[in-house]
Amino acid sequence: MIINSSNLENDIKVSLKNLKSGTDIRGIAIETEEHKISLTCEIISLIGYGFSKWLKNKTNNKTNLKVAIGMDSRLSGPKLKETLKEVLTMDGIFVYDCGISTTPSMFMTTILEKYSCDGAIMITASHLPYYYNGVKFFTSQGGCEVGDIDEILALANEVENPIFSDIKGKVEEVPLIEDYSSLLVNKVIKEVNNKKPLEGCKVIVDAGNGAGGFFAEKVLKPLGANIEGSQFLEPDGTFPNHIPNPENEEAMESIKKAVLNSKADLGIIFDTDVDRAAVVSRTGEEINKNALIALISSILVRENKGNDKDITIVTDSITSTGLTEFITNMNCVHHRFKRGYKNVINEAKRLNEEGINCPLAIETSGHAALRENFFLDDGAYIVVKILIEMSRLKKENKDIDDLIKDLKHALESDEKRIKINCDDFRKYGESVIEDLKGYVSKIDGWSIEPKNYEGIKINCNNESGWFLFRLSLHEPVFVLNIESDVEDGVKSILSKFNDFIKNYKDLVI
């Protein structure tokens, strides 16, 4: 549905702003009993027009612009993709239709010489329910930042009388996933100097019916792996088996059972658009969150032997005390930063610009970005790094979980979400955090962690733990993360915390 200027009423313009989610666009694309559609074809055409004009501005009105478009397995993906193709070609842009793709592979269309795209659009809403969808934008400089999204939406909002190019673009279907898979396969072969490094190994994939099913047939199998036991590889936008999300307990339990039942050497699980991943060892150990950070960090340390420059690992704010100890014991620096994968990535880039050796930016959510890979959060690439190390360890008769055997796990941990019932939730939330600072001074054994980048982190000596109280990045919600190394420590921290929070009528636990 191409833009109809007569329909550009104020409510449409307001809805565009409401679709912004950090550096993504997200909304309801399929109506349900509880949810009305907010991401319509008309609105996506406005966004596509805004991106076209933004890209032309960024490239000084370069002619013959090329943009790649891909999507995950969501049911609403095809119609949104067709709408974007139509509006971009109307504005003179040559479009590569990449079909079902992954978010990282879409960025690579701006890097790979075969494609050399000026921009790329991925249609996805990551792990959100089936009725959601959205878009992510890329140039060769990486994913669009918050300011870029603001500019794109501003340009979309200004479309009263859309002006299209006199020269119309064309569409070409391309085998992006085939090309991207070859890139991954060749990296493993080159690193281990073996055309079939996984021969004799059983490695299985759980794609959760998202876009990651290709990895079994197009990456693992060519490397010699036995992939029997892989599950939910077929794209299905209803996600009938479990949420494709390495943070989800049901999803992790599913791949764990599959590994143990099929006697696999390794299990791999991706989120919907494959910018996140986790693994399960042959013994059934779930390697996600803190364990995944420890594993990737240890791999980088092994690769960095002989380099006298200390490694700094940037993570988000809710990583465990045990992880900090693990990283420190490897003579590395653990730099805990803000939640939000873009925040973590940009902080790692900043540190490198200052001359600090920072090869990894990684969130507990599974977003992991390596300096060697354009600081692109790419689940498939992270798994490739693990497969390379797995091949090396096999020669030493070791398993991948041997690398993290010294990682200490907290005895207890919990996460609570506290709803804020007021219009200006951010201002209200900041005032609550200020009040908490005063309350902490009255609690024996509690102290404010001075080195903290978001919310407030409290060290709780009597409970051998800590808690982080922070505002959600996008929602009117407080998030409370707690960790303790003594029995009932979390209960004790919560009891004291609740004595504070009960005084705020606009907070709902």
Query: How much is the pLDDT for 391?
Result: 94
Q: Which residue has the tokens 């307001």?
A: 14
Query: How much is the pLDDT for 102?
Result: 98
**Whole-angstrom distance, CA of residue 227 vs CA of residue 216:** 6
Q: Is 43 helix (H, G, I), strand (E, B) or coil?
A: helix
- Pick from 365, 343, 290, 349: nearest CA to 473: 343
Digit-coded pLDDT (tens) for 180-212? 999 999 999 999 999 999 999 999 999 999 999
Query: How much is the pLDDT for 151?
Result: 96
Average pLDDT, the chain: 94
Identify the DSSP state of 220. Answer: I
- Pick from 256, 245, 195, 192: nearest CA to 222: 195
What are the structure tokens assigned to 458, written together? 């409290």
Residues 6+ apart with CB under 8 A from 491: none
Delineate the domains of the chain, giving CATH numbers in brackets. Answer: 5-174 (3.40.120.10), 180-404 (3.40.120.10), 412-508 (3.30.310.50)
| Angle between helical axes of 146-157 and 10-18 (0-180°, round to 10) | 170
**Whole-angstrom distance, CA of residue 120 vs CA of residue 245:** 24
Per-block mean pLDDT, blocks of 10 residues, the chain (509 long)? 54 75 94 93 94 96 95 98 97 97 98 97 95 97 96 87 82 98 98 96 98 98 98 98 95 98 98 98 96 98 80 96 96 95 96 97 97 97 98 92 96 96 92 97 96 96 97 90 98 97 91
Residue 199: C-alpha distances to residues 25, 383, 424 (Å):
42, 17, 58
Query: How much is the pLDDT for 141?
Result: 95
**Whole-angstrom distance, CA of residue 4 vs CA of residue 1:** 8
Digit-coded pLDDT (tens) for 460-485? 999 999 999 999 877 899 999 999 99
Burial class of residue 216 in the structure, from the number of CB atoms within 10 Å of its CB (0-12 exposed, 13-18 middle, 19+ buried)? buried
3-state SS string for 419-474? EECCCCHHHHHHHHHHHHHHHHCCCCCEEECCCCCCCEEEEEHHHCEEEEEEECCC
Query: How much is the pLDDT for 489?
Result: 98
Q: How many CA atoms lie within 13 A of 354 on its CB side?
A: 9
Q: Which residue has the tokens 């006298």?
A: 308
Q: What is the pTM of this model?
A: 0.94
Task: Classify strands 94-100 and 66-71 as parallel, antiparallel or unpaired.
Answer: parallel
Query: How much is the pLDDT for 9?
Result: 54
Query: How much is the pLDDT for 3?
Result: 60
Burial profile 10-44: b = 16 or more Cβ within 10 angstroms, e = fewer? eeeeebbeebbbebbbbbbbbeeeeeeebbbbebb
Query: How much is the pLDDT for 16?
Result: 86
Query: How much is the pLDDT for 336?
Result: 96
Digit-coded pLDDT (tens) for 323-371? 999 999 999 999 999 999 999 999 999 999 999 999 999 999 999 999 9
- Pick from 158, 70, 102: nearest CA to 377: 102
Query: How much is the pLDDT for 314?
Result: 98
